[in-house]
Structure 1
Amino acid sequence: MIRLAVLGAAHGHVGYALDEAARRDDVTLVAAAEPDAASRAAFLAGLGDVPVYDDIATLLHRHEVDVAVVAGVYAQRGAAAVAALEAGAHVLADKPLCTSLEQLDAVASAAARAGRHVSVMFEKRFHPVTLAARRLVDDGVLGGLALVASTAPHQLRLPDRPPWFVRRDGYGGIAGDLPVHDVDLVLALSGATSGTVAALTGNSRPDVHPDVDDHVAVLLRAGSVAATIEASWLSPEADELHGHYRMRLTGSSGTAELDWGYGTLRVATHDRAPWTEPLPAGRPPAAYFFDALAAGAEPEISTAASLLATRVALLAQASAEAGGTQLPWPATGRE
């Protein structure tokens, strides 16, 4: 039986792990902790007899934990992950894993000492569109991958956001947050272990949220693949979608256009007219992690993959703060 605990619940994505635990008979939720009363009420209500604490240290002192879900205030996640690892638990984290390179180095060191997994729930990986596109790339249908272009607009819905979300000391930076899903996919698709990254950020509403930028453009070199990633908090709030997330893969033999918003994958090659690719069933965002632990295997989103995608995203943030300077990656770390 896998003993699960929640160490921070400041975002609805904590539900990925809680929902998966409820579906399984090999996982039991032993406790949860969240310092903020409003967040406890919003995201940890309905846990029945499961004890809920306002302090992570108290939870870890009182309970044996095999897996810790880290989904608190962004800037507090690195410390929560380190505490979990030092207590001997694996870490299953919402993105972003942390908000600074110093925090990331601390997580990487703690994971190495503990010999435990750190995995970020990059849920785009398990969407039917993504699974189908990865199959096309793996089968060589597109030829050698050359270019990736993605767009990830999000609705800000500011009245629904807590105060920490629009403060730099709580949120971190947009380049370290929103683009990380697509950074992870570029790394997974390319298999690259080194490259360069540069980014520019901006704030279209400094009168509303002066401390946090609301859009970013990332230029990522991953081995021989060049990727552009545009992300923002500027998705129209009257739109039916929280964000119309899309990606175009260009290879030497063809292209694939992923549309996560509407669940389609359009493909064209030099020797075949465009077609809509059939999609497989998707997977729940946290299933891969518990399936791997139950089998004694490394999770598909491994510690190395989680740390590297996070590092590249945080380096993008550092680049933006330096005016768009191109930075090498992995730069530091043991990914």
Structure 2
Amino acid sequence: MIRVAVAGMAHPHTAYALDELEHGPFQLVGTSDPDPAARERWTPPGVRAYADHRELLAATEPDVVAAFGVYGGRAAVVVDALRAGAHVISDKPLCTTLDDVVAIEEEVERTGRWVSVVLEKRWHPVTLAARRLLAAGALGDLALVAATGPHKLLPDTRPSWFFTRDGYGDLLGDLPVHDVDLVLALSGAASGTVSGLAPRRPLPEHPEWSDSGALLLAAGEVTATVEAHWVWPAASDVHGRYRMRLTGTLGTAELDWARDRLHVVTHDRASWDEPLGPGLRPTQDAFAAVAAGREPEVTTAASVRASRVALLAARSARHGGRVEAWA
């Protein structure tokens, strides 16, 4: 049995890890979170819960750690888990500062363990179908990407740390990570530039917080715009109308994750809705990789690269949108 520990349970995405344990040779050996309510909510009967993740790591010696805690404390958990000899499956954002990214990279290099961020958009049937179209050449060479990532705020459901810089980090370091990762994966780019804007609108109750922003990403020969915000209407039937348009030299594909639709048009074929196949559960590939002794498709390099680019966009926004180079 592969020993799994969950270190940090501050977000409902914790279920992504716990639900996957029934699908392989996995044993939950313990959980941790400083918040007693989180420990009570997420820890199954018969499993010991700890207040401190370091106590959890020392007592259980896990093979893999799922990190789903408060964003600002996540890097410390990831680094300590790597030092304890575990691979790490982390919710996004992986961390909240560029220094955190460096610390995680250095620990991966030192320990030989991997870190994989849960980027569940990769596994949606719409995304998998779009990637098949691109691989088959149906859209030609990818030139432009335009993505939107709206979310409902529902402020009464958010904990106090969510509205602080130390707890949450930056808007552009959080919400756009999924779309940044897809742009990097689809383009295959190894370098480029990014700039961001996230003006602080008058929110007197949350003075450290931005609720909307956008970034402009150059990824090799591909130019991408990503808009993200927490002002999606509360009465909507979906949490956010997540969409992405891929524009290639031969055609365009519109990904609509909320409606499970991939709408395509090319120079030689009228528009159609591409048939969708099955997808994967959010942490399915990562846990399967642990069982198979391989690195997940969302590798350490991919996890770190997307996190770094998003955090550079956040830094750019704090400096008026200056252009930041990434490689």
* TM-score bucket of the superposed structures, by smaller chain: over 0.9
Secondary structure at the counterpart of residue 127 of structure 2: helix
Corresponding residue for residue 210 of structure 1: 207
**Aligned partners of 1:41, 1:275: CA distance in 2, in Å?**
48
**Aligned partners of 1:192, 1:108: CA distance in 2, in Å?**
20
Post-superposition Cα deviations, 1:103-156, rounded to whole Å, max 9, x if no partner, equal: 111011011111001000000000000000011111110000000000010000
Corresponding residue for residue 52 of structure 2: 55
Matched AA of 2:160:
P
Corresponding residue for residue 88 of structure 2: 91
Q: Give the superposition deviation at 1:25.
A: 3.7
Q: Give the superposition deviation at 1:38.
A: 2.5
Post-superposition Cα deviations, 1:271-329, rounded to whole Å, max 9, x if no partner, equal: 00000000010110101012122222221000000000000000000100110000000
Q: How does 1:21-36 map to 2 (within 5 A)?
A: 21=21, 23-36=22-35
1:232 and 2:229 correspond:
yes
2:284 to 267, 278, 287: 287
Secondary structure at the counterpart of residue 99 of structure 1: coil
Corresponding residue for residue 333 of structure 1: none
Matched AA of 1:30:
V
Change (3 A) 1:284 1:205: farther
1:271 and 2:254 correspond:
no
**Aligned partners of 2:300, 2:117: CA distance in 1, in Å?**
8
Q: How does 1:151-230 map to 2 (within 5 A)?
A: 151-230=148-227
**Aligned partners of 1:107, 1:77: CA distance in 2, in Å?**
11
1:253 and 2:253 correspond:
no
Corresponding residue for residue 39 of structure 2: 40
Structure 1: which 5+ runs fail to align?
331-335
Corresponding residue for residue 74 of structure 2: 77
Q: Give the superposition deviation at 1:264.
A: 0.2
Corresponding residue for residue 103 of structure 1: 100
The worse-fitting range, judged by mean Cα deviation, of 32-41 and 136-145 is: 32-41
Matched AA of 1:4:
V
Corresponding residue for residue 319 of structure 1: 316
Secondary structure at the counterpart of residue 202 of structure 1: coil
Secondary structure at the counterpart of residue 196 of structure 1: strand
Matched AA of 1:66:
D
The worse-fitting range, judged by mean Cα deviation, of 245-254 and 1-10 is: 1-10
**Aligned partners of 1:7, 1:56: CA distance in 2, in Å?**
6
Corresponding residue for residue 298 of structure 2: 301
Post-superposition Cα deviations, 1:48-70, rounded to whole Å, max 9, x if no partner, equal: 11100001111111111100001
**Aligned partners of 1:275, 1:160: CA distance in 2, in Å?**
39
Corresponding residue for residue 310 of structure 1: 307
**Aligned partners of 2:170, 2:40: CA distance in 1, in Å?**
26
**Aligned partners of 1:252, 1:214: CA distance in 2, in Å?**
35
**Aligned partners of 2:92, 2:164: CA distance in 1, in Å?**
17
1:328 and 2:316 correspond:
no
Matched AA of 2:30:
A
**Aligned partners of 1:38, 1:202: CA distance in 2, in Å?**
34
Post-superposition Cα deviations, 1:169-228, rounded to whole Å, max 9, x if no partner, equal: 100000100000000000000000100000000233512322110001100000000000
Secondary structure at the counterpart of residue 328 of structure 1: strand
TM-score by length of 2: 0.98
1:149 and 2:123 correspond:
no
Matched AA of 2:323:
Q
Secondary structure at the counterpart of residue 198 of structure 2: strand
- Tell me if the contact between 2:24 and 2:291 (Cα under 8 Å) persists in the aligned partners: no
Corresponding residue for residue 2 of structure 2: 2
Matched AA of 1:31:
G
The worse-fitting range, judged by mean Cα deviation, of 32-41 and 244-253 is: 32-41
Corresponding residue for residue 120 of structure 1: 117
Post-superposition Cα deviations, 1:27-81, rounded to whole Å, max 9, x if no partner, equal: 1100000001222234x14x01110000111111111110000110000000000
Structure 2: which 5+ runs fail to align?
none
Post-superposition Cα deviations, 1:243-277, rounded to whole Å, max 9, x if no partner, equal: 00000000000000000011000000000000000
**Aligned partners of 1:66, 1:29: CA distance in 2, in Å?**
10
**Aligned partners of 1:273, 1:184: CA distance in 2, in Å?**
30
